[in-house]
Structure 1
C-alpha cells in the first residue's frame, strides 16, 4: 500500500480526507502543522501529500521536504481555495508537484488519486 499524508490545520478536512483516501487503499497519516508534518516525514516519508496553502509555513514545509534525501520522490499536492496564479506559482517554486482545489470531496479525490492507488497494488 502507498502512504499518503494530509497536512492541514483543519481537523474536519483531515478526517474527511483520511476516510476517503483510506477507502482508496492508501495508508493515511495526518499532521496539523508544518512542524508536525516535517517531523513525521523525517521518520516515514509518504508517497503522496496534500499540503494546505493556508497552513502557516506551508511553502517552507514543501521546500524543507524537498531538501530531505527521500523528499524528492514524494508527490506533493498544494491545496488552494481558489486558482490564484500567485499562490500556484509560489507553490510550484517551493516544489509542489501539482495542485488540488479545496474543498475536495470523494469525487475529486477519487478522480485524482484512485488510479494511483490501484496502479501501485
Structure 2
C-alpha cells in the first residue's frame, strides 16, 4: 500500500485530504507543520507528500528544501497544496523540488489527476 503524509496546519484540510487519499487506497499520516513532517519522514519516508505552503514553525517551502537535502529525500513525490496561485510561488515550489502543484480547494478528481501526473497512482 502506498503511503502519503499530509502536511497542513488546518485540521479540516488534513481530515478532508485523508478521506480523499484513503478512498484512493493510500495509507495516510499527518503533520501540522514542516518540522513535525520532518520527524515523520525520519521515522518512515512516505511515497507521497501533500504539502501546504503557509504554516507556523516551518513553512512548506522550508520543509521541502530540507527534505530534498536528505539522502532519501528525493524519493517522495511532493504535491504542493495551497491557495498561493501566482507564477512566482509556483516557480519557487518547483525549483525547491516539488513535483506538482494543486490549488485549494480541490476535489478528489483534481487530486487524483495530480497524483497520476507524478506517477503516484
Q: 2:95 aligns with which of 93, 96, 108?
A: 93
**Structure 2 runs not aligned, ≥5 long:** none
Alpha-carbon displacement from aligned partner over 1:13-41 (angstroms, at most 9, x marks no partner): 00010011001111111100111001100
Provide the alpha-carbon RMSD of the alignment.
1.6
Count of aligned pairs between the two proteins: 117
Deviation sequence 1:60-92 (CA, Å, 0-9, x none):
100111111111111111122142111111111
Matches within 5 A, 1:33-52: 33-52=33-52
Greater relative contact order, per chain length (Cα 8 Å cut-off, separation 6+): 1
Aligned partner of residue 5 in structure 1, secondary structure: strand
Report the structure, 1 or 2, having the larger helix content: 1
Q: Separation in 1 of the partners of 2:22 and 2:51? A: 17
Counterpart for residue 62 of structure 1: 64
1:25 aligns with 2:25: yes
Following TM superposition, by how much is the alpha carbon of 1:113 offset from its aligned partner in structure 2, in angstroms? 3.0
CA contact (8 A) 2:6 2:51 kept: yes
The aligned residue for residue 102 of structure 1 is 104
SS of residue matched to 1:72: coil
TM-score, normalised to structure 1's length?
Answer: 0.88
